[in-house]
Each structure stands twice: as C-alpha cells, then as structure tokens.
Amino acid sequence: MARIGIDASRAVSAAPTGTEAYSYHLIRALLPLLPAAEVRLYCREQPPAAAFPGAELRVIPFPRLWTHVRLSWEMLRHPPRVLFVPAHVLPLFRPRRTLVTLHDLGYRFFPEAHPRAQRLYLELSTRWNARVASHIVVDSTATRDALLASYGVPAEKVTVVYPGYEADLQRVEAPAELERLRVRYGVERPYILYLGRIQPRKNLARLVAAFGQVRTRHPELQLVLAGPPGWFADTVHAQVQALGLEQRVVFPGYVAPEDKAALLSGARLFAFPSLYEGFGFPVLEAQACGTPVLAAATSSLPEVAGDGALLVDPLDTEALAAGLLQLLEDPSLCQTLVARGKENLARFSWGRAAQQTAAILQQLAA
C-alpha cells in the first residue's frame, strides 16, 4: 500500500495556468525526495511519459465529479496513509491524514468579481478543506492570515510554503525571436504587458483607464492584455470600447509557455494591478525576464515582489497611471527595480518548496 498518495489530476493541462503549474512543478520536485515505492499519483487521464518519470501512476478516468465520486471510491478501496491535494479540494472519502494547498481567498474580499455559483463553490470547498484537512499549506503569509481570520483555523495547522518559479525563464534579446512573438500575437512595440486570466478581479478595467491617460503623453504605446478569458471578461472588452481604445489594446489570448519569456522580455514594463492574489506567479516571471514591474500594494503582491516592483493602490486609477508613467519615463528607477527583482528571485525555488512539503508529508505519514 502506498504511504503517500498525491492528486495529480490538475498537474497536466494543455493550457496550464497558476494552480495547474503549481501542481505540476511541485510534484516533479517532490518525487526525488520521497521513496518511490511509497508514492502513488492519481490521474484523471494518462499523462505524457515525460511528465512524471518513474512514478507509480493510478489512472482512473471518470467523466464528472472525479474528485468526490471516483477519487473517493479509490480512497475507500485502496487508501494511502496520507493524501496530498495540491490544487483542488479533498474528496468526501479520504484517509484520516491529509494535506491540502489552499491558494486563494480572493472571493471573500471581492465577491462581486466572481459569478455567484463560483463564489458559492469556492466558499464551500475552502470551508471543507479548512475543516477536514490534517494540515494546510498556503502560498503566502497574506493567505495564511486571511485563512486564520476567515475560518478560525488554528495557526499550528497552517504552514506557509512559497512556491517556486520557472528557473529556466530568462530575458530574451534575440531580435528574430522578439519579432516572431510580435507577429504571432499581433503585438506592436512598444507595449505595456499584463499576463494572466482576463477577469474583473485582475483589475483590468482600471488598468485600461490608466492606460488611456498614459497615452496622452505616449501615443505610440500599446497595452497587451494576454491570457485566457475568465468570467465577466466582456466587461473588460466593454471598457476598451467605451474609451475608444480598440486599436491600442490587444487581447492575444492564452500565451504558450514557450512564448512567455519573449513576450515578457519585449515589454517596456509589466503591469499586475490585481485586486487580490494568493501568490502572483507573473510578478516573478517578469522579474526573471528583466522587465520592470508595477504591481498592486495589496494582498500577497508586496510579499512576493519584495523590493523589485513599484507598488501602487490598485483602487486608484490616477495612482496606476502615475506609476505607469514613472516606469516609462525613469530609466534609473527601472534599472534599480530590475536589479532588485533578480535578487528577489533567490527567495523562491521549487526545490525548497518541495523540501518543506516533503517534510510535512513524511511527518503525517510517520
């Protein structure tokens, strides 16, 4: 019987976003630290052979309610000693010892930015995880504090484990590669870049309004809002149309992982004014590519960005516009932020995250 089971159902995706990437990279970094004979990965479908080499896989397809029906049934029949769920919710039936990662409580702070059904699901699933998990991992101190305050979870039950970032991300300087990306995604230069899901919680309507102000002094600029559409994405498009910026704001859609570095490297600056983030991977990705960062001075973003970003009030459109102008017109500040951003990256690695998580798993399995 496996001593440690890991839900890998969210770890492999054709178009991974934050939680999928977290699950994939953490599991890959965990596997060398745990005895191979004692670990089993539960997958909804067969992953690529290169995803988890040498790991024991339990592939259990199921069309709907995979976690609460199919994984629960697996837990009843062949339970591991400990179950770790890095990117979803614990199943209804589970081993007595469980570890779960809780990524985000943004729905409690900005409920209007979520559809009602999604908000209800997030509330119920988070409350369930908080109540039944043996131990909880969170991505930031900000998320830990929100979890303790919102659900009354004992502090000793929660551990902050900073995720890593893709360490192979680095600045792209080759003109041919930058041009290829420009053509592929319909981007002109120079441009301000946002990278993430297109939804209200990311505060993109205010970013668009701030960009409209900035263009009066920098008419050559383009704003690139890159990422897959989320709920209420149409409100962002409506804001662009209302301000007459259809020719200057580009929505290239999902950016393939292999294109991310070049798109970040080609930007004059990276803007991430999100209203609430449990962590904020794009900030680290921009820092890794040597791009100046403007970020919100709220939730986990100051914690993640360190000294390597210009922080502004995300609810103040004038402050957003002033911050954008400051980075566009102050090369010395940009150089300072880029240098500090590189130093900041040393605080984050998947290897360190895996070591901390493995220690928790082994303690639970003892």
The number of folded domains in the chain is 2
Q: Are strands 310-312 and 293-296 parallel, antiparallel or unpaired?
A: parallel
**Scanning the structure block, which residue is given the tokens 């690139």?**
224
- In tens digits, the chain (366 residues) has pLDDT values of 579 999 999 998 777 778 899 999 999 999 999 988 899 999 999 999 889 988 999 999 998 899 999 999 999 999 999 999 999 899 999 999 999 999 999 999 989 888 899 899 999 999 999 999 999 999 999 999 999 999 999 999 999 999 999 888 999 999 999 999 889 999 988 999 999 999 989 999 999 999 999 999 999 999 999 999 988 888 899 999 999 999 999 999 999 889 999 999 999 999 999 999 999 999 999 999 999 999 999 999 999 999 999 999 999 999 999 999 999 999 999 999 999 999 999 999 999 999 999 999 999 998
What distance in Å separates the CA atoms of residue 15 and residue 226, rounded to the nearest whole number? 13
* 250 and 357 co-located in one domain: no
* 284 and 333 co-located in one domain: yes
What distance in Å separates the CA atoms of residue 237 and residue 324, rounded to the nearest whole number? 21
Q: What is the pTM of this model?
A: 0.94
Position 63 in a domain: yes
* 30 and 100 co-located in one domain: yes
Position 280 in a domain: yes
* 117 and 197 co-located in one domain: no
* 216 and 262 co-located in one domain: yes
* 222 and 311 co-located in one domain: yes
Position 169 in a domain: no
Kindly report the CATH number assigned to the domain that includes residue 153: 3.40.50.2000
* 121 and 30 co-located in one domain: yes
Position 142 in a domain: yes
Q: Alpha-carbon Rg of the chain, whole angstroms? A: 21
CB neighbour list of residue 3: distance below 8 Å, 6 or more residues apart: 35, 38, 39, 80, 81, 82, 365
What distance in Å separates the CA atoms of residue 281 and residue 300, rounded to the nearest whole number? 11
Position 170 in a domain: no
> Does the bond joining 228 to the residue before it have cis omega, within 30 degrees of 0?
no
Range list of β-strands (E), 28-187: 39-43, 56-59, 82-85, 97-102, 135-138, 158-160
* 353 and 303 co-located in one domain: no
* 123 and 229 co-located in one domain: no
* 231 and 152 co-located in one domain: no
Instruction: Print the domain residue range for 283.
Output: 175-347
Range list of β-strands (E), the chain: 4-7, 39-43, 56-59, 82-85, 97-102, 135-138, 158-160, 191-195, 222-226, 249-253, 269-272, 293-296, 310-312
* 299 and 359 co-located in one domain: no
* 125 and 13 co-located in one domain: yes
What the block records as the tokens of 63 is 């069309």
